[in-house]
Amino acid sequence: MTCDTESVWKKVRHGTASAAEARADEKFDSVDRSCATVNPTMTTIIDGNEVADQIQSEVSTCVDTLRDDGVTPGLATVLMSDDGASETYVSMKQRTCEELGIESFHHEIDPDEPAEVLFDRIDELNEDPAVHGILVQMPVPDHVEKRAVLERIDPVKDVDGFHPENVGKLVAGNARYKPCTPHGVQKMLAAYDIETEGRDAVVVGRSDIVGKPMANLFIQRDDGGNATTTVCHSRTDDLAAKTREADILVAAAGVPEMIDGEMVGEGATVVDVGINRVDADNEKGYELVGDVDFESAKEKASAITPVPGGVGPLTIAMLMYNTVKGASLQSGVPVDLP
């Protein structure tokens, strides 16, 4: 079956028409709404692993450039937690480092130790010339002040981009390290030719690591920015009314499957940042679900990211990207990052 909607929604995906324009399109109203339900394949399922692989292969070329000049990029990860999910993420980061030829230095600190032990370790890593990037896995224990941890890291080695100096540079439009998850979302949209300029972006969540930097990137006068951006949170009144208006909807609330099809406008791009472990009757005893109810949202969306295999792999790819950028900045050896 051929479907005229394809061309309309392709325009939406590529940003040459907004979802509202497509909805108003006469052809869509008369022919294609039925088409949309009959032909669910028109929704693009964004493949985060594929985009991450592409970025990592480009980052790997930059690693070779640095190594040719005698510089081996190094990333230090610090884990002060017994949480299983955190352990998984940190080991994924180490594995990707290995694949790309980035040296990884892993440090574990007992979560019962006083904050000073972590601060001392950060001080050592700040001084270590083999370490170009430092990542302290969040969350840290309650007795350790998160803000103090972020401020302790040398901003030039802060590959998460969470230090206030780096936040300031990002907001000012002069980013040093773009935070990995929102930067990954930008790269993912670009890879699928999904335009942000002039479109309505709605971000659900205002955390320092995802929601706020995502909104900041969307409003920059830059590629991947120039979107009109709304930031929602737990005090937002009538959330569904806001999310339905989105051309690009980013869910980062940490609430399993809270965004369902009813909250998604026809033709929107839905980016699910959420990674939630929920109990399941399988070997692991849990499964991963996003903040989006994938099945119902997919019926409305023109493009959607899955969990797993969506934003997560991009977060790791952009951490590698920032580590290589750090190695280049600290060594003075130029690299051609994508």
Ligand X SMILES: NC(=O)C1=CN([C@@H]2O[C@H](COP(=O)(O)OP(=O)(O)OC[C@H]3O[C@@H](n4cnc5c(N)ncnc54)[C@H](OP(=O)(O)O)[C@@H]3O)[C@@H](O)[C@H]2O)C=CC1
Ligand Y SMILES: Nc1nc(=O)c2c([nH]1)NC[C@@H]1CN(c3ccc(C(=O)N[C@@H](CCC(=O)O)C(=O)O)cc3)C=[N+]21
Active-site positions?
A: 93, 137, 160
257 binds, among ligand X, ligand Y, none (CB under 5 to 8 A by kind): none
Question: Can you read off the two tokens belonging to residue 228?
Answer: 């009109």
Task: Pick the closer one to ligand X by CB: 15 or 211.
Answer: 211
Among 56, 96, 104, 181, binds ligand X (CB under 6 A): 181
CB of 161 to ligand Y, least distance (A): 9
Please give the C-alpha separations between residue 169 and each of 128, 157, 241, 267, in angstroms, as whole numbers: 24, 14, 33, 34
Q: Assess contact for 77 and 90: CB atoms under 8 A.
A: yes
> Annotated binding site, which residues?
205-207, 275
Nearest C-alpha neighbor of 195 from the set 3, 47, 12: 12
Among 209, 292, 303, 327, binds ligand X (CB under 6 A): 209
Is residue 206 a contact residue for ligand X (CB under 6 A)? Answer: yes
Give me the amino acid identity at 111: P
Task: Pick the closer one to ligand Y by CB: 128 or 208.
Answer: 208
Q: Give the C-alpha separation, 94 to 283, whole Å.
A: 25
Residue 270 exposed, middle or buried by CB count within 10 Å (0-12, 13-18, 19+): buried
Task: Pick the closer one to ligand X by CB: 140 or 273.
Answer: 273
Is residue 204 a contact residue for ligand X (CB under 6 A)? Answer: yes
Q: Give the C-alpha separation, 258 to 187, whole Å.
A: 25
CB of 112 to ligand Y, least distance (A): 20
Q: Give the C-alpha separation, 148 to 123, whole Å.
A: 12
Spacing of C-alpha 163 from chain mean position: 18
301-323 core/surface letters (b: 16 or more CB in 10 A; e: else): bbbbbbbebbbbbbbbbbbbbbb
Please give the C-alpha separations between residue 193 and each of 60, 230, 270, 303, 333, in angstroms, as whole numbers: 24, 22, 14, 11, 31
194 binds, among ligand Y, ligand X, none (CB under 5 to 8 A by kind): none
254 binds, among ligand X, ligand Y, none (CB under 5 to 8 A by kind): ligand X
> Annotated binding site for NADP(+), which residues?
205-207, 275
CB of 5 to ligand X, least distance (A): 30
What DSSP string runs through 96-139? HHHHHT-EEEEEE--TTS-HHHHHHHHHHHHH-TT--EEEEPSP
Task: Pick the closer one to ligand Y by CB: 205 or 313.
Answer: 313
Give me the amino acid identity at 117: V
**Helical axes 211-219 vs 180-191, angle rounded to 10°:** 50
313 binds, among ligand Y, ligand X, none (CB under 5 to 8 A by kind): ligand Y
Among 274, 319, 320, 324, binds ligand X (CB under 6 A): 274
Interface region with ligand X, contact rule CB under 6 A, candidates 109-117, 124-132, 192-200, 253-261:
253-261
In the complex, which residues of this chain contact ligand Y (CB under 6 A)? 88-89, 92, 135-138, 160, 180, 275, 288, 307-309, 312-313, 315-316
Is residue 81 a contact residue for ligand X (CB under 6 A)? Answer: no
Among 96, 186, 276, 328, binds ligand X (CB under 6 A): 276
CB of 181 to ligand X, least distance (A): 4
Residues at the site binding ligand X, with contacts judged by CB under 6 A:
181, 204-207, 209-211, 232-236, 239, 252-255, 258, 273-276, 311-312, 315
